[in-house]
Amino acid sequence: MLIIGIAGGTGSGKTTVARSVIERLGSDKVTFISQDNYYKDHPHLSMQEREALNYDHPLVFDNELLIAHLKQLKNGEFAHAPVYEFTIHARSKEETLELKPNHIVILEGLHVLSDEHLRSLLDIKVFVDTDPDVRILRRVLRDIEERGRTIQSIHHQYLTTVKPMHEAFIEPSKKYADIIIPEGGENEVGIQMLSILTEKYLKDGEAGEAEQL
């Protein structure tokens, strides 16, 4: 199993890069995991208290559970990821996402490279590097259209948590990347390079399986 970690700031195009690689390789050969589903759950807090949490700090993620799930997949076992509902800042009580062991696992998220223990499980570490003005515009559109937030709340969150946490944790994690892809989904050459590297792994693995047979 090859585990690829794709990190980068909010709105950098991490998901677009991941989806482009999956489309090229075939969805049947790749298991996709979003770190966003591993936000810690806080059922004891009120909605107002949950809204006030810093969702851009590395410690807001349940990396222990994520690491446990990655190890299950490496052992050939299925895992069940939580589903996080951003409109209520809580995990779904009815739904989980089945993760199957596969040839390739792509893990995408803000702090995929920030945690030393999580980083140690990654075979290929990728950082998507996109200009801040492009990232914030993408975030504004996403948060309004998909997460039901107001422009005022987005503005406040960006200045108080998003920007400071990016500068303190996400940007420094770039030094751990094996591959840096500028401009995310717009960088066809970078995506092609990552896809070719992954395809080579798949072909080598299939050749090894054939030899054993």
Domains of the chain: 2-199 (3.40.50.300)
The pTM (predicted TM-score) of the whole model is 0.89
Whole-angstrom distance, CA of residue 206 vs CA of residue 212: 10
Q: What residue type is assigned to position 85 of the chain?
A: E
Whole-angstrom distance, CA of residue 203 vs CA of residue 123: 16
Specify the length of the chain in residues: 213
Residue whose pair of structure tokens reads 């896809």 in the numeric block: 195
Q: Which residues contact 175 (CB under 8 A, 6 or more apart)?
A: none
Q: Over the stretch 14-56, which tens digit does the pLDDT of each residue have?
A: 999 999 999 999 989 999 999 999 999 999 999 999 988 999 9
Residue 118: name the closest of 133, 108, 132 by CA: 108
Distance from the Cα of residue 117 to its chain's centroid: 15
Whole-angstrom distance, CA of residue 86 vs CA of residue 91: 8
Which pLDDT band holds residue 181 (cuts at 50, 70, 90)?
A: very high
Query: Over the chain, what is the mean pLDDT?
Result: 91
